[in-house]
Structure 1
Amino acid sequence: MRRYETIIILKPTLGDDENQAVLDRAVGNIEADGGATIRVDKWGVKTLAYLIQKEKQGYYLYLLYSGTPEAVAEMERLLRIDDRVMKYLTVKLQDVYTHLPEDDLEISGPPAPPVSKILADDDDDSDDEDDA
């Protein structure tokens, strides 16, 4: 399953029960399709950079989860039709990249020639135009 993160901005006038209901609905949709919720953060009411639906503030929710693309599409559909949700954004996270230290790398093949030799060879190639 792929990992995703979603930020949901709710209307600031909603109560804690309404905010929790939106969160439960989103998490329930993910888990119903076999996904797993990794992290849920309630960032609270924050000032928006610009007006959204004539509101200056919004209640932010952050979800980090794993699931199928179909589950994400269904959750976004539910968020789109919910009047309590002002805006949302879902991002698919990259696969985890593990960095190997240079000591653990195995290099095969002959060593690369020094840069000065490569530059000298390039200068000799410019004379080939006169030979043709």
Structure 2
Amino acid sequence: MRKYETLYVLRPDLEPEKTQELVERFKGVVTTNGGETLEVNEWGKRRLAYEIEEHREGHYVLMQYNADTDFTSELERLMRISEDVLRYLTLRVEE
């Protein structure tokens, strides 16, 4: 297993319960696919560098986890089809 970081930006107009539900959902996807969630940092609402889908702010979440190499494509696929995720970026952390 390798260590990864995924930073994703959620829509700012979501209710706190919906935001928390999405964070828990993505954490659950990691664990159900044999991975291990190390840390989840919610940075909160911050201003975007440029407007995305008519939003000037976004709710930032940084998730660090261990997973197999083919898992990241599945996580990104789920984020891509979710209308609540504005942007995401996954990086492999060097040890």
Question: What range describes the TM-score normalised by the shorter chain of this pair?
Answer: over 0.9
State the aligned residue count.
95
CA deviation profile, 1:101-130 (whole Å, cap 9, x unmatched): xxxxxxxxxxxxxxxxxxxxxxxxxxxxxx
Mapped contact 1:38–1:65 kept (Cα < 8 A): yes
Unaligned runs of 5+ in 1: 97-132
Query: Per-residue deviation at 1:21?
Result: 1.5
The letter of the residue matching 1:30 is V
Query: Per-residue deviation at 1:57?
Result: 0.3
Scaled by the length of structure 1, the TM-score of the pair is 0.70
CA deviation profile, 1:10-53 (whole Å, cap 9, x unmatched): 00000111111211111111111111010101100000111111
Q: Which has the larger radius of gyration?
A: 1
Unaligned runs of 5+ in 2: none
Quote the RMSD (CA, aligned, Å): 0.8
The letter of the residue matching 2:93 is L
Q: Mean Cα displacement is larger for which, 4-13 or 15-24?
A: 15-24
Mapped contact 1:30–1:36 kept (Cα < 8 A): yes
Scaled by the length of structure 2, the TM-score of the pair is 0.95
Question: Runs of 4 or more off by more than 4 Å in structure 1?
Answer: none
